[in-house]
Amino acid sequence: MEELSADQRLIFNAVRDTTRILVLGWVAAIAVLAAKLLGGKDTIGYSGIELNVRHAWVLLAVISLMHVFKGLFIVRHLQEHSWGGTTAEEDEKLFKAIRAEGNPLVHGLRPRRLTARPVARMDPADPSYWAAYLFQIMTFVAVLPWAYERGHVTWPDGTALWLPVLATLVFLGLNWQIGSRWLAAVGDLQPRSAQVQGRPVAPVVRGFGMVLALVVFAISLPGRIILFPFLFRPVS
């Protein structure tokens, strides 16, 4: 990798730290799924710290807030970077350094394309596109307050059900929004001659919303949950 300037290293390291935080959440989601499906355990632990799998949404909340802080840091410093009068060659060097990272959330990253509407579309050929979807779906399924007992999926009642579900939807949506924002900002380091100018960048939420809806619908098929907009309740 070519030597980066101090300003470029600041942005590069911020992206690296942010993606590591997200991968940490991904690993935690895998651990929660494994505990629920294979071990039948109520807790997961690391270095003496234990977490009840039914409270996994709390860990998601912490990681989400860290992601928001780091994501806004990236966007702000990329703006300052562009205001500093950098050359196209310098921007491209930074972009190539970021997309060369081994982290699946940025490896092979391609710039988000602006459409006629204020939406930044992800390229299906972008491996980070699929990594982001996989991360969201796996985390969503892991954090929901279900348990696998004696060959059956069980759900809690009342607040123990709807609070984690609502928190999961809110924090995953927040992650998608802020992640789309800083990834689009990173993509702006590349030439945008083929993109529509003069439009603000907004994240792609329709596709993700459809995926989440399908996942929740699939979970509800056994008759364990009746799903209405913003309403989850167990079937008696």
Q: Work out the pLDDT band at 2, boundaries 50, 70, 90.
A: low
pTM: 0.74
Query: Measuring CA to CA, how many Å separate 35 from each of 28, 51, 157, 193, 236?
Result: 10, 11, 21, 49, 27
Domain ranges of the chain: 6-234
State the DSSP string of 3-56: PPPHHHHHHHHHHHHHHHHHHHHHHHHHHHHHIIIII--SEEEETTEEEEGGGH
Say yes or no to pLDDT of 88 above 50. Answer: yes
- Residue-wise pLDDT tens digits, 111-139: 766 555 555 666 777 788 788 888 888 88
**pLDDT of the residue at 233:** 38
Q: pLDDT (tens digit, 9 = 90+) per residue, 170-201? A: 888 888 888 888 888 888 887 654 343 433 33
**In 10 A of CB 193, how many CB atoms?**
6
What is d(CA 97, CA 135) in angstroms, rounded to the nearest whole number? Answer: 23
Query: CB under 8 Å to 229, separation ≥6 — which residues?
Result: none
Query: Which pLDDT value is given to residue 48?
Result: 67
pLDDT at 21 over 90: yes
229: helix, strand or coil: coil
